[in-house]
Amino acid sequence: MYMTADGFIAGPDGEFDSYEPSGAEHAMANELFRGADAVMFGRVCYEEFVEYWDSLDLGSAETSPLEAEFAAFFREKPLVVISRSLKEVAPRATLIAGNVATAVAQLKRQMAGYAVLVCGPELLSTLMNDGLVDELHLLIKPSVRGRGLTLFRDLRQPQKLTLLGTRTFESGAVASPVSKGFELLSRFGALVFPLAVATLFGQPKIQFVAVAPDIRLEVVDWGGSGPPVLLLAGGGDTAHVYDQLAPKLAKEYHVLGITRRGFGASSKPTTGYAARHSNRIAGLIYLDAAWDRT
């Protein structure tokens, strides 16, 4: 999402500033969209995206390599369209016409990874109000507007966010991805149009395993295919500290996590702790929650 330093995405009448993203900004947008399980749109953004990217001449000398790259994988990407007025969508698209919060929540439970949301302020606020947006990808332009349309105008109440990092471009723009409630490995995203960009992550399966009398451990299964990977949280964290990192790993691995006894939903022991069974985790990948993110 491009926005001015004073928080506006467009002028009072919805007019956008002329802004041409740099190659580095476009390359990061490509990375964000390429890794997504699906792209979710409101009606207007969907129509504009499909009209432009599905018809772009990939062989034209006027089409940049970054644009051709984006168009190529976008045409194969599953789409989700949220609209009350549309009756038909592209064959690769799923239409959500009503009960938006319920339908999007169900979609998140079915995903192994994440979906990118491309929309305007109204739909973004609707999904944020229902707690369905996990990350926002903001790009701050080196300019101010003074008045106009703001991105979060329809939020019902304040929401606390966590800054994941920043990156400055030669244009002076600053990429600032933020998440709702979780600190993640930094992942920057920018869009080539002044629209909202957000990510929605899938929900893991939860089960409990009895390991001793009256002791059950919470096992979190984020799905995926490939060799199994077990994520063990350090400190006082639960397995859910990986709720947003794990779907990225699920592209190549079957990802599981265990919440240690005495923490989170796992049972609390009635006796002390002992260091045993270290051989049981030999060969598994260990990602500590305090992993150096630099």
Structure tokens at 175: 């990429």
Which position has the higher pLDDT, 146 or 170? 146
Q: Quick one: average pLDDT of 245-257?
A: 84
Which residue would you say has higher pLDDT here, 238 or 177? 238
Closest CA to 186 of 161, 159, 160, 166: 166
Beta strands in 83-214 (DSSP E): 93-96, 114-119, 135-140, 149-150, 162-163, 167-168, 174-179, 196-201, 205-212
Residue 293 reports pLDDT greater than 50: no
Is the pTM higher than 0.85? The answer reads no
What is the C-alpha separation between 129 and 116, in angstroms, rounded?
Answer: 17
Helix 65-74, helix 43-53: angle, nearest 10: 120
CA distance 216 to 236: 18
Angle at which helix 100-110 crosses helix 121-129, to 10 degrees, equals 70
| CB 169 within 8 Å of CB 142 | no
254 pLDDT higher than 80: yes
pLDDT at 196: 46
pLDDT at residue 281 is higher than 70 = no
CATH of domain 205-281: 3.40.50.1820
Strand partners, 221: 205, 256
What residue ranges do the domains of the chain occupy? 2-201, 205-281
Tens of pLDDT along 88-144? 999 999 999 988 989 988 888 887 788 888 888 888 888 888 888 888 888 888 888
pLDDT band at residue 287 under the 50/70/90 scheme: very low
Mean pLDDT of 78-89: 93
The superfamily (CATH) of domain 2-201 is: Dihydrofolate Reductase, subunit A (3.40.430.10)
- For the segment 228-247, what is each residue's pLDDT rounded down to a tens digit? 899 988 777 788 888 878 88
